[in-house]
Amino acid sequence: SISGSAQSTGSFGVLKLASYNQGYSNQNNTYFGINTGKASTNQKNVGVGYQVLSEEIDSGKNVAIGYEAMHEVASADQNVAIGMEAGYQTNQDNTVYIGYQAGKEANSFASVIIGQGAGYNLSGFYNVLVGSSAGNKNTSAQHNVFIGDNSGYDITTGDGNTFIGYKASGSS
């Protein structure tokens, strides 16, 4: 059993942040990390981690967290990328990337990509991919829902599919 009381008075000091930048070439950005936002040409981005949004060109209103998340993006707005290399080189808008290399080379509009390697090459629109390597080989597939480890893995261009479960898939 723990009992008693604690009291604190006074100031807690000043928070000092290494490698913090509120916008290299524009304003209204918040960046934490080495080279994060280094080439930024837009505003209203938040980047946390090593080289996050560091090659960003004309992309705004994004949140990227993790080693090289959204590293090489151009004209990509209103995205969220969390995880190492998540959304690494997207050039589309309104997509969520969560997980190690989720959508690493993807250019998907209005999609949700969650899981390690999910939607790695996806360029199709309006997809929901949840699970490790879900939709990993997708290129221009659209309007799909793949839920489960490796679900929809071999679908490259097929539209309007729903696969749920481990390795649930079809062809094209």
- What is the amino acid identity at position 3? S
For 7-53, what is each residue's pLDDT tens digit?
656 555 554 454 555 545 566 888 899 999 888 788 899 999 999 99
Of 105, 78, 110, nearest to 89 (Cα)? 105
For 115-128, what is each residue's pLDDT tens digit?
999 999 999 999 99
For 100-120, what is each residue's pLDDT tens digit?
999 999 999 999 999 999 999
For 62-82, what is each residue's pLDDT tens digit?
999 999 999 999 899 999 999
Q: What is the pLDDT of residue 26?
A: 61
Residue 46, CA atoms < 13 Å, CB-side half-sphere = 7
Q: What is the pLDDT of residue 57?
A: 86
* Assigned token pair, 18: 């290494």
* Assigned token pair, 158: 């097929």
The yes-or-no verdict on residue 168 having pLDDT over 90 is yes
